[in-house]
Chain A
Amino acid sequence: MRRTTIQLRQAAIVLAAVATVGLAVVPSTRSEETGGLQPLNEQQWNEAKARHLLFRAGFGNTPEEMARLHALDPRQAVDLMVDFHKQPEPKFALTIESPRPRKLVIDRAALAKLKPEERKKRLQELRKQQGDSRRNEREQFVDLREWWIRRMVESPRQLEEKLVLFWHGHFATGYRTVQSSYAMYTQNELFRKHAAGNFGQMLKGIVHDPAMLRYLDNDKNVKQHPNENLAREIMELFSLGEGNYTEQDIKGAAHALTGYGFDRRSFEFVFRANAHDEDEKTIFGRTGNWDGDDLVDLILEQPATARFIARKLFVFFVHEDPSQQTVEQLAAVLRENDYELAPMLKTLFLSQEFFAPAAMGTQIKSPVQLVVGALRSLNIKEANCTALLAATQEMGQELLQPPNVKGWDGGRAWINTNTLFSRHNFAAPLVTPATKPAGQRIPAAADVDLAMLLEDKDLQSAADIVDYLTEACLVTTISDARRQLLIELLEGDQPLPAPSEWKDQRQMVNARLVALLVAIMGMPEYQLT
């Protein structure tokens, strides 16, 4: 049995180190009102933009952290986010064992030789072994999911975790099909290894990734009976996009991928030479004895690939409607850098367009962004990860179980009358954490002691507190009238005591602060970032 204990990830993100490559020169043909991909200048840099960068290139942060980022110039701020490998490697304990649980194999002949009592005992032993193994696998999967969301909440390398989430949605793979937490873990580490590294390396990794090979049935793709599932999705969803390939290309790709499988016990990649088609295949009009690695190279040569990836990253980080020109320019940066992602990401995060009104405060938070951001905005470290995961699932995003190979649509698809209640109810356990009325089984995501979090921040009035919390939680400003409603809520019938007196009335103060927080979390602005 293979055992990998990860205390400190030793495999350094070597590929991300190339992120030090300078920014590519952006063609200056663009002169739209947004300024396109032209870099933001120092005069335009302000706290709101620093916050925007923190919430998009990460999951959010406190007003203090915004101020720290704002103190840098925009280029330094972007470098700090994108060159995350320069920050210390965060430590998050996780123990992952391979392989997945064995099926109960009963040697009937051997059993037949045993006496009836012994036979019964032996059968019981086997069943217990299998039960234990299944239970271990279930527990390990729970550990894996909690480990990941804890990283999002706590890792200082925020863009790394944000990108891992992006790649998980891009190369969407579901645990219920894969049935191996070990394989889901190794895939997650593949995403982390190349998060801001090289897309070509990532795509090569994917055609060797046991979780993906299982998810899209490539273990069944043999030369006698080619299975097109992986070949099709690689082109449609992972690299080229609909309309940039033919059915003939898919056929050729499926043949190139024959024999790319994995060992069913160890969940390690295996190339089955006897199942691989050694005949010539034609892909994109080019004929040769291609294998899966050649297929990736052929795909990377297609200009559509850089466009597709650039567009998808833009949509994830900026807004849903990039101009064709912007996509072309970002794709050019990607190609000029041989698919290294960091230079393109720096161009993107520094661009006028990233900070344009169409981008700032207009993105609908994904459920993961919502719950992770909720904790990060208030600098809450002790999260109940079980509750966080249950909450995102309720809102329509189950980590390691995307709805299908297309991943999550994002944007307005997150919102309907049902998921809105789930999003608003995320705050419900905060109101009366002690009692749980019938029908409500939402555990609190964290024990929030707002009085403790706020008492040393020199907040002298209810208005100060409202301003601090709305700044921490909302990326857009609110009208005076609505701000006044929040102040009235906090004031209640009698004024809030000064922070120096909170010690003695902690319970009352906390109840009022929590009510304010819950009200803010129910505002439509809270759903946006």
Chain B
Amino acid sequence: MSRIQIATRREFLSHGLGLVGIGAAVPSFLIQTALAGPQAQSGEPILVVLQLSGGHDGLSAVVPYGNDDYARNRKQTRIKADQVLKIDDEIGLHPNLSGWKDLLDAGSFAVVQGVGYPNANRSHFKSMDIWHLADNSERPSARYGWIGRYCDHAFEGDPDPEVVMSVGGGESPRAVQGRKHGGIDFRGAERYRYMVGDQDAQLGSLYRTLNESALKEKPTKKNENLDFIAQATVNANASSDQIRTLVKRTANAGYPPTGLGTSLRTVASLISGGLKTRVYYVFQGGFDTHRDQRARHDQLMADLNGSVTAFQRDLAQQGHAERVVTMAFSEFGRRVQENASQGTDHGKAGPMFLFGPSVKAGVHGQLPSLAANDLDRGDLKHNVDFRSVYATLLEKWMGTESQPILGEKFPLVDCIG
């Protein structure tokens, strides 16, 4: 695989992060990042995926405050009618989501209610995999993530790693792993560089040479992990200088000093800087609220509210809001009946959130019934398959067919445009 990539390195050089090969004074296979301006590709729609890890209690974000079953099942964790930010007579937003309420009123926030999938799995890992892969078929590409498959499909012949970028996470999400596209990952921009090169230029250049040459050689014994590492090293160095330059340029536009706030601020800087990245992936963890849910969840909502609201404002000020849609999901919702530890256990369906002026604002789909007889072993049943939301974003927003990526045709949700 890597060898194919190297064969098309010319393409990589001309389309990548404004990369240029430099003169004969250095080995010709040494890639250098150009610090000059990026190749702006304005107008291309961008998707930001926000992963809420741990299983988000959607009932505490979009609260069915008027529902008797909600009150009956949630004695300790309930958010009362006089606290919610009312959307209509039945549901309202968590009191800390005031910025989201403003976005809703301004036409930039949509909720899709009751999202899930058949035969829901209550394991964090299994369910997260299901959301990341979004393909339960036996076809070979099903082991890649849905965003990775999108990149493989939409950018065939273009091995540019910057098409998809994940920011702030510890691990690279499976969703972005494609057959050809692995993407760029970084936690923080400042440390995203080879520091030896700062101190000893000769070593810095030899380092690139030794990694590039490992890819070019044809060893007697094929070692796929060696190629994988050498390729990722080449990608990392190609993206390092430019990312750091772009992030340094922008001031803090009111983001909270949290992990998510920092990640979204970085994404806004990269978008403004004109990277041709089409999908950004960011994270917020801590949703596995088995005990003492209220205090913990209140904090999470405050962070989500502050970070997403600042992001939308920042994008609007830079003139990019129209071309960005942000989608938030979690691997599952939580049990309707709270547990004895003032918390909630793993459940099934939950809401998804969409942000940006390009979404069809409002509430889509129906809240699943909370009545005991309607539950699936204590959990909400889904009304909307999450792959319908993915399909909608792929077709109506990213402008590509969804069926080759998701393996089958899913009905669309009218939440874009």
Judge if A151 is at the interface, Cβ distance under 8 Å.
no
Query: Which residues of B295-320 have CB atoms within 8 Å of chain A's CB atoms?
Result: none
Contact partner, A413, options B171, B186, B210, Cβ 8 Å: B171
Query: Which residues of B207-247 have CB atoms within 8 Å of chain A's CB atoms?
Result: 207, 209-211, 213-214, 217, 219, 221, 223-226, 228-230, 232-233, 235-236, 239-240
Judge if A518 is at the interface, Cβ distance under 8 Å.
yes
Q: Is the CB of A417 within 8 A of B186?
A: yes
**Taking the nearest CB of chain A, how far is it from the CB of B137, in angstroms?**
18
User: Closest residue to B187 on the A side, CB-wise?
Assistant: A418
Q: Is the CB of A442 within 8 A of B195?
A: yes
Q: Is the CB of A403 within 8 A of B194?
A: no
User: Closest residue to A515 on the B side, CB-wise?
Assistant: B203
Contact partner, A489, options B171, B198, B206, B221, Cβ 8 Å: B206
Q: Is the CB of B211 within 8 A of A417?
A: no
Q: How far, in angstroms, from A420 to B233 measured CA to CA in the complex?
A: 7
CB neighbours of A247 from chain B (8 A): 377
Judge if B172 is at the interface, Cβ distance under 8 Å.
yes
**Taking the nearest CB of chain B, how far is it from the CB of A133, in angstroms?**
22
Q: Is the CB of B223 within 8 A of A417?
A: no
Contacts A417-B184, A421-B194 given; does A485 touch B345 at CB 8 Å: no
Judge if A228 is at the interface, Cβ distance under 8 Å.
yes
Contact partner, B191, options A421, A432, A482, A524, Cβ 8 Å: A421
Judge if A18 is at the interface, Cβ distance under 8 Å.
no
Q: Is the CB of B236 within 8 A of A524?
A: no
Q: How far, in angstroms, from A476 to B221 measured CA to CA in the complex?
A: 10
Q: How far, in angstroms, from A479 to B213 measured CA to CA in the complex?
A: 10
Judge if B291 is at the interface, Cβ distance under 8 Å.
yes
Q: Is the CB of A222 within 8 A of B340?
A: yes
Judge if B125 is at the interface, Cβ distance under 8 Å.
yes
Judge if A217 is at the interface, Cβ distance under 8 Å.
yes
Q: Is the CB of B226 within 8 A of A525?
A: yes
Q: Is the CB of A409 within 8 A of B171?
A: yes
Judge if B123 is at the interface, Cβ distance under 8 Å.
yes
Q: Is the CB of B206 within 8 A of A485?
A: yes
CB neighbours of A525 from chain B (8 A): 214, 226
Q: Is the CB of B341 within 8 A of A227?
A: yes
CB neighbours of B195 from chain A (8 A): 425, 428, 440, 442
0/1 string, B106-129, CB within 8 A of A gives 1:
000000000000000011111000
Please count how many residues in chain B sit with their CB below 8 Å of the partner chain's CB atoms: 58
Q: How far, in angstroms, from A242 to B209 measured CA to CA in the complex?
A: 44
Q: How far, in angstroms, from A254 to B236 measured CA to CA in the complex?
A: 46
Q: How far, in angstroms, from A515 to B339 measured CA to CA in the complex?
A: 59
Judge if B170 is at the interface, Cβ distance under 8 Å.
yes
Judge if B185 is at the interface, Cβ distance under 8 Å.
yes
Contact partner, A524, options B126, B187, B193, B229, Cβ 8 Å: B229
Q: How far, in angstroms, from A481 to B219 measured CA to CA in the complex?
A: 12
Q: Is the CB of A229 within 8 A of B190?
A: no
Judge if A23 is at the interface, Cβ distance under 8 Å.
no
Query: Which residues of A398-434 have CB atoms within 8 Å of chain B's CB atoms?
Result: 403-404, 406, 409, 412-413, 415-422, 424-425, 427-428, 431-432
Please count how many residues in chain A sit with their CB below 8 Å of the partner chain's CB atoms: 58
Q: How far, in angstroms, from A481 to B214 measured CA to CA in the complex?
A: 10
CB neighbours of B161 from chain A (8 A): 417
Query: Which residues of B152-201 have CB atoms within 8 Å of chain A's CB atoms?
Result: 161, 166, 170-172, 182-187, 190-196, 198-200
Judge if B290 is at the interface, Cβ distance under 8 Å.
yes
Q: Is the CB of B232 within 8 A of A362?
A: no
CB neighbours of B200 from chain A (8 A): 431-432, 515
User: Closest residue to B223 on the A side, CB-wise?
Assistant: A362
Contacts A431-B199, A431-B203, A524-B226 given; does A217 touch B341 at CB 8 Å: yes
Query: Which residues of B268-316 have CB atoms within 8 Å of chain A's CB atoms?
Result: 290-291
Judge if A156 is at the interface, Cβ distance under 8 Å.
no
Contact partner, A482, options B126, B199, B203, B214, Cβ 8 Å: B214
0/1 string, A95-135, CB within 8 A of B gives 1:
00000000000000000000000000000000000000000
CB neighbours of B191 from chain A (8 A): 421-422, 425, 439
Judge if A3 is at the interface, Cβ distance under 8 Å.
no
Q: How far, in angstroms, from A220 to B340 measured CA to CA in the complex?
A: 8
Q: How far, in angstroms, from A482 to B212 measured CA to CA in the complex?
A: 11
**Taking the nearest CB of chain B, how far is it from the CB of A207, in angstroms?**
19
Judge if A225 is at the interface, Cβ distance under 8 Å.
yes
CB neighbours of A454 from chain B (8 A): none
Q: Is the CB of A425 within 8 A of B194?
A: yes
CB neighbours of A432 from chain B (8 A): 199-200
Q: How far, in angstroms, from A217 to B339 measured CA to CA in the complex?
A: 12
CB neighbours of B198 from chain A (8 A): 437, 440
Contacts A361-B223, A476-B223 given; does A417 touch B235 at CB 8 Å: yes
User: Closest residue to A413 on the B side, CB-wise?
Assistant: B171
CB neighbours of B229 from chain A (8 A): 364, 415, 420, 524, 527-528
Q: Is the CB of A403 within 8 A of B225?
A: no
Contacts A417-B185, A421-B193, A440-B198 given; does A217 touch B124 at CB 8 Å: no
Most chain B CB within 10 A, of A415, A418, A432, is at A418
Q: How far, in angstroms, from A479 to B377 measured CA to CA in the complex?
A: 61
CB neighbours of B125 from chain A (8 A): 404, 406
Q: How far, in angstroms, from A396 to B170 measured CA to CA in the complex?
A: 6
CB neighbours of B166 from chain A (8 A): 416
Q: How far, in angstroms, from A528 to B230 measured CA to CA in the complex?
A: 11
Q: Is the CB of A528 within 8 A of B210?
A: no
Q: How far, in angstroms, from A504 to B103 measured CA to CA in the complex?
A: 72
Q: Is the CB of A416 within 8 A of B194?
A: no
Contact partner, A236, options B123, B170, B214, Cβ 8 Å: B123
User: Closest residue to B177 on the A side, CB-wise?
Assistant: A412
CB neighbours of A412 from chain B (8 A): 225, 228
Q: Is the CB of B221 within 8 A of A357?
A: yes
- 12 CB < 8 A contacts A-B: A220-B339, A220-B341, A224-B340, A227-B290, A362-B225, A415-B232, A420-B232, A420-B233, A425-B194, A476-B223, A519-B203, A524-B214
6 closest A-B pairs by beta carbon, nearest first, are A225-B340, A417-B236, A416-B185, A416-B172, A428-B195, A524-B230
Given contacts A364-B225, A416-B183, A421-B236, 11 further A-B contacts (CB under 8 A): A227-B290, A362-B225, A416-B172, A416-B232, A418-B187, A418-B192, A424-B207, A432-B199, A481-B213, A482-B214, A522-B211
Contact surface of A with B, Cβ cutoff 8 Å? 217, 220, 222, 224-225, 227-229, 232, 236, 242, 247, 357, 361-364, 396, 403-404, 406, 409, 412-413, 415-422, 424-425, 427-428, 431-432, 435, 437, 439-440, 442, 476, 479, 481-482, 485, 489, 515, 518-519, 522-525, 527-528
